[in-house]
Amino acid sequence: MKVAIVVSDGAQALDVAGPLDVFAEANANLPAHQRYEVSLVGSRAGTVTCSNGMQLAVPIGYADADTQYD
């Protein structure tokens, strides 16, 4: 299943890292064919700066996404 975590400038790092960790833990307990495929998506591809100054690389903008996310 494809899942997108939408990230924008000013987001709290925990709001990104928390869900990523949850899906990673779920994937550790699922067979390969049932694992989640998690992507970071922003308003545009590039660097997003969280509220604490941490920068994240966002590979795709949601306007450019051709994937159906859940």
Alpha carbons 15 and 6: distance in angstroms, whole number: 10
For the four alpha carbons of 9, 60, 69 and 22, in that order, the dihedral sign comes to: negative
pLDDT digits (tens, 9 = 90+) for 7-58: 999 999 999 999 999 999 999 999 999 999 999 999 899 999 999 999 999 9
Q: What is the pLDDT of residue 53?
A: 97
**Are 11 and 50 contacting, i.e. CB atoms less than 8 angstroms apart?**
yes
Measured CA to CA, the distance from residue 55 to residue 43 in angstroms comes to 15
Q: How confident is the model at residue 63 (pLDDT cuts 50, 70, 90)?
A: confident
- Please give the pLDDT value at position 69: 67
Measure the CA dihedral 57/62/66/67, to 10°. Answer: 80
Answer yes or no: is pLDDT of 70 > 70: no
